[in-house]
């Protein structure tokens, strides 16, 4: 079976590694060069999309910011899974919010802003603090603003205006103003749906973000109330999109309620722990769904965590002395803040996992993993209290 993945980053790479034993061959379409490449070596296989489509039995995507012409071409081939509409929803917060409304799924109070009048109205109707997010992909690390109160509103508006003007021409830009949610935790649910409508979900994962980027994910035995809530949200969104493949949903947990933050129509960073903590990893399950193979069990086999390696191309080898620790590099060149790789670690019990995480936190350089130690210490404390 041959599968073309739109996008040639680490997610395509991990899909290729996971499904080689199933005799599924992955080729990746590098959207920036227009070449179809081997996702492991980056060697060029074809130099246009058409040959990639011809090669493929199925086509899927590893990210959602794909130009609509490419999506339309792939959709027209009848091979694209999930469908282009589902991929577009993940790439435009306006579509995402209207999907949540349509599915009656709880999320943060928000307003869509295209003009100064919308901006003023949003500031009057929502309560502070606010977070404003570009509806489409941000660029150069821009695209999110935080507003504590009205004092800096004018300044922020001018910045947003400049952002609209500097963005792609001929595209209707917008930002979504959202009330900041005073969450207790951030969690995410990764699940998979096949073309017959069968779904399976992994246990909810607890996520810690540092400077807006995922830093640690921990998957252990879950709170059944939250898991059921999350699964219902997953089922309704996946059904509405007639989704095929792995879909991730990020939530804010407030008490025992989950509010959706965003959805990702693809395998997700917060699901990398499944490579060693679940019966079948997210990458294999995504391709099983896409290729019409039976889905694999999503059961947790042992408490497992993932630590992201951001902006570093080496870590001390000693971390591999910590039992059950596995290192995954993506083969990318070093750039500040870039997702370069991740570390997975498991334990027989949650306490054992926590103590292994602390061993890792002590070995990893504090400058590059700045919030890791306090976060793990807090996690350890939460287990003993």
Binds 96: which of ligand ATP, Mg ion, none (CB < 5-8 Å by kind): none
Binds 131: which of ligand ATP, Mg ion, none (CB < 5-8 Å by kind): ligand ATP
The binding site for ligand ATP (CB under 6 A) comprises: 108, 131, 133, 178, 180-181, 186, 209, 212-214, 250, 261-262
Give the angle subtended at the CA of 272 by the CAs of 365 and 20, to the nearest 5°: 120
CB of 314 to ligand ATP, least distance (A): 24
Nearest to 145 by CA among 187, 176, 112: 176
Nearest to 111 by CA among 150, 101, 253: 101
H-helix or E-strand containing 217?
Answer: strand 213-219
CB of 33 to Mg ion, least distance (A): 27
366 in helix, strand or coil? coil
CB of 49 to ligand ATP, least distance (A): 25
| Alpha helices by DSSP H, 291-371 | 350-363
Structural contact between residues 230 and 250, judged by C-beta atoms closer than 8 angstroms: no
CB of 142 to Mg ion, least distance (A): 16
Binds 334: which of ligand ATP, Mg ion, none (CB < 5-8 Å by kind): none
Give the angle subtended at the CA of 5 by the CAs of 26 and 13, to the nearest 5°: 60
Cα(256)–Cα(262) distance, integer angstroms? 18
Which of 80/307 has CB closer to Mg ion?
307
Which of 64/350 has CB closer to Mg ion?
64
Cα(65)–Cα(33) distance, integer angstroms? 15
Dihedral in degrees, nearest 10, Cα atoms 11, 95, 190, 130: 100
Which of 34/337 has CB closer to ligand ATP?
337
Binds 74: which of Mg ion, ligand ATP, none (CB < 5-8 Å by kind): none
Binds 360: which of ligand ATP, Mg ion, none (CB < 5-8 Å by kind): none
Cα(308)–Cα(345) distance, integer angstroms? 12
Please give the size of the binding site for Mg ion, defined by CB under 5 A. 1
Letters for 208-247 (x = contact with Mg ion by CB under 5 A, - = none) are ----------------------------------------
H-helix or E-strand containing 372?
Answer: helix 372-384
Nearest to 230 by CA among 266, 187, 199: 187
Q: Given the rule CB under 5 A, which of 33-41, 108-116, 222-230, 249-257 is the region that contacts Mg ion? A: 249-257
Which of 58/145 has CB closer to ligand ATP?
145
Binds 212: which of ligand ATP, Mg ion, none (CB < 5-8 Å by kind): ligand ATP
Which of 250/350 has CB closer to Mg ion?
250
Which of 270/344 has CB closer to ligand ATP?
270
Q: Which residues bind Mg ion (CB under 5 A)?
A: 250
């Amino acid at each position: 079976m041959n599968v073309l993945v739109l996008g040639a980053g680490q997610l395509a790479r991990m899909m290729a590694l996971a499904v080689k034993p199933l005799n599924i061959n992955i080729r990746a379409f590098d959207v920036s060069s227009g070449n179809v490449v081997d996702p492991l070596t980056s060697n060029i296989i074809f130099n246009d999309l058409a040959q990639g489509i011809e090669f493929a039995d199925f086509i899927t995507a590893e990210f959602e910011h794909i130009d609509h012409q490419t999506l339309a071409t792939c959709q027209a081939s009848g091979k694209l899974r999930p469908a282009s509409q589902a991929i577009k929803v993940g790439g435009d917060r306006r579509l995402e919010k209207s999907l949540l409304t349509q599915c009656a799924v709880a999320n943060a109070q928000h307003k869509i802003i295209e003009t100064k009048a919308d901006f003023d109205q949003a500031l009057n109707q929502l309560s502070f603090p606010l977070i404003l997010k570009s509806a489409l992909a941000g660029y150069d690390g821009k695209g999110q603003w935080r507003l504590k109160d009205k004092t800096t509103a004018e300044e922020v508006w001018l910045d947003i205006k400049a952002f609209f003007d500097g963005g792609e021409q001929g595209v209707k830009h917008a930002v979504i103003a959202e009330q900041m949610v005073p969450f207790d935790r951030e969690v995410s649910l990764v699940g998979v749906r096949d073309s017959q409508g069968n779904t399976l979900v992994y246990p909810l994962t607890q996520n810690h973000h540092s400077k807006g980027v995922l830093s640690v994910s921990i998957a252990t035995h879950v709170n059944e109330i939250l898991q059921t809530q999350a699964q219902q949200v997953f089922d309704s969104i996946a059904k509405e999109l007639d989704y095929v493949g792995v879909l991730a949903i990020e939530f804010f947990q407030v008490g025992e309620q989950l509010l959706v933050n965003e959805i990702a129509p693809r395998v997700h960073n917060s699901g990398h722990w499944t490579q060693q903590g679940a019966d079948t990893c997210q990458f294999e399950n995504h391709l099983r769904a896409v290729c019409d193979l039976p889905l694999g069990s999503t059961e947790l086999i042992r408490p497992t965590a993932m630590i992201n390696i951001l902006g570093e191309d080496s870590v001390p080898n000693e971390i591999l002395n910590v039992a059950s620790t596995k290192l995954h590099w993506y083969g990318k060149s070093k750039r500040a803040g870039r997702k370069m790789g991740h570390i997975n670690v498991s334990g027989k019990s949650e306490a054992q996992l926590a103590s292994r995480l602390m061993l890792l936190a002590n070995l990893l350089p504090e400058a590059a993993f700045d919030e890791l130690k306090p976060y793990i210490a807090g996690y350890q404390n939460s287990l003993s209290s």
